[in-house]
Amino acid sequence: PGGNVTGTSDNIPPRRQIDLALKLLPQAKRVGALYTSSEVNSQQQVQKMKEYAAAKGLTVTEATITNVNDIQQAVQSLLGKVDFIYCPTDNTIASAMPNIAKITVPAKIPVFIGDEAPIKKGGATAGASVNFYQLGFQAGEMAADILAGKSKPADMPIGSQEDVKIIINQEAARAIGLVIPEELRKAAE
pLDDT by position in tens, the chain (length 189): 667 889 888 778 899 999 999 999 999 999 999 999 999 999 999 999 999 999 999 999 999 999 999 999 999 999 999 999 999 989 999 999 999 999 999 999 999 998 889 999 999 999 998 878 888 998 999 999 999 999 999 998 888 877 788 999 999 999 999 999 888 888 786
Domain holding 73: CATH number? 3.40.50.2300
Question: How far apart, in whole angstroms, are the C-alpha atoms of residue 183 and residue 20?
Answer: 12
Q: Which residues of 69-87 are buried (b: 16+ CB within 10 A; e: fewer)?
A: ebbeebbebbeeebbbbbb
In a domain, 7, yes or no: no
Q: 30 is in which domain, residue-wise? A: 14-131+161-187
Prediction pTM value: 0.87
In a domain, 149, yes or no: no
In a domain, 140, yes or no: no
Question: How far apart, in whole angstroms, are the C-alpha atoms of residue 16 and residue 18?
Answer: 6
In a domain, 173, yes or no: yes
Q: What are phi and psi of 149, to 5 degrees?
A: 80, 10
Question: How far apart, in whole angstroms, are the C-alpha atoms of residue 128 and residue 19?
Answer: 10
In a domain, 21, yes or no: yes
Name which of 80, 145, 139 is nearest 109 in CA terms: 80
How many Cα atoms within 13 Å fall on the side-chain side of residue 51?
Answer: 7
Name which of 13, 91, 78 is nearest 46 in CA terms: 13
In a domain, 29, yes or no: yes
Using alpha carbons, list the distances in angstroms from residue 100 to 59, 84, 103, 129, 157.
21, 13, 6, 19, 36
In a domain, 125, yes or no: yes
Number of domains in the chain: 1
In a domain, 171, yes or no: yes
